[in-house]
Amino acid sequence: MIDERTPDSPLSPEIGWKRHWQKLLAAAIWLVIAGSILGYATFTGRSPTEIIADLLDLLRTPIGPLLYILIYTLRPLAFFSALVVTLLGGAIWGPVWGTLFVVIGANLSASVAYVFGRVFGQGVLSEEQAAGTMINQYARRMRRNAFMTVLIMRLVFLPYDLVNYLAGFLRISYQQFIGATILGSLPGTLTFVLAGASLNIDDIIAGRFGVSAINPWSLLASVVLFVGGIAVSHLLRQREQL
């Protein structure tokens, strides 16, 4: 019998791994997280709310920022939302330190996704994403002018990790990619860090929802930046279509 599992066959273990490595890795990460939480709850008898409070207390220790940056860096491998982690950074450390830690974590996260996109190629993008008209359009432009294209993709709020993986897959210059990422992501970072900083996370976890749990000035600044970002994004998209 002829073995049809050639290196290029869909049944090939090598191809299967390239297509599904991220799902397998994400599943492994979530299993470790779930197991750790379950073990901690079993040995301490803490409730889910108390476990969240304990995690926040840990993040407020001197090693907390390093742990937070590590979580942010590994986030794309577990399919975890960058928005949630960014809001958490603002809620714990406020607008100044929160922005610093988010910028570091977000750009390390972008670098990790870029490297994996470069190494694993098509395994990080679905066939639908790779064949999408918009993705093809930006891919062609990224090959011609990597810095400006990545900058625009950040400013128009295209999916963060998709841009990272696509840049790695196309093997564009890392220096241009990370430079455009730092500049283009900053407005969005400030917006959501300020949104997080407007929340009193301890009151919210304790179930004390009310006006006192919200800082109106931070929230207003976040809304202004968000509306401004949407307006700029809209103008850029119109210009892209000309």
What digits encode the pLDDT tens for the residues 63-75?
999 999 999 999 9
pLDDT above 90 for 44 = no
The length of the chain in residues reads 242
**Cβ(167)–Cβ(205) under 8 Å?**
no
Render 218-237 in DSSP notation, one character per residue.
Answer: HHHHHHHHHHHHHHHHHHHH
Please give the backbone phi and psi of residue 39, each rounded to the nearest 5 degrees, phi first: -65, -45
Q: What is the pLDDT of residue 98?
A: 95
| Mean pLDDT over each residue of the chain, to the nearest integer | 82
Q: What is the pLDDT of residues 90-136, one digit of tens each?
A: 999 999 999 999 999 999 999 999 998 888 765 555 545 555 566 77
Express the helix, strand and coil content of the chain in percent, nearest 5 each: 80, 0, 20
Q: What is the pLDDT of residue 130?
A: 52
| Selection from 41-50, 98-107, 165-174 with the highest mean pLDDT | 98-107
Q: Distance between CA 12 and CA 9 in Å, rounded?
A: 5
Domain boundaries, the chain: 13-241
User: Mean of the pLDDT values across residues 183-212?
Assistant: 84
For 132-152, the pLDDT digits (tens) are 566 777 788 888 888 988 988
Indicate whether 45 pLDDT > 50. yes
> Token match 């991220």: residue?
22
pLDDT of residue 174: 94
Helix (H, G, I), strand (E, B) or coil at 81: coil
Measured in whole angstroms, the distance separating CA 96 from the mean position of its chain's CA atoms is 20
Euclidean distance between the first and the last CA atom of the chain, given in angstroms as a whole number: 58
Check if the beta carbon of residue 104 is closer than 8 Å to that of residue 131: no
pLDDT at 109: 95
Whether 9 shows a pLDDT value over 70: the answer reads no
Partners of 214 in the β-ladder: 199
Residue 8 has pLDDT above 60, yes or no: no
Indicate whether 1 pLDDT > 50: no
Percent of the chain with pLDDT over 70: 81
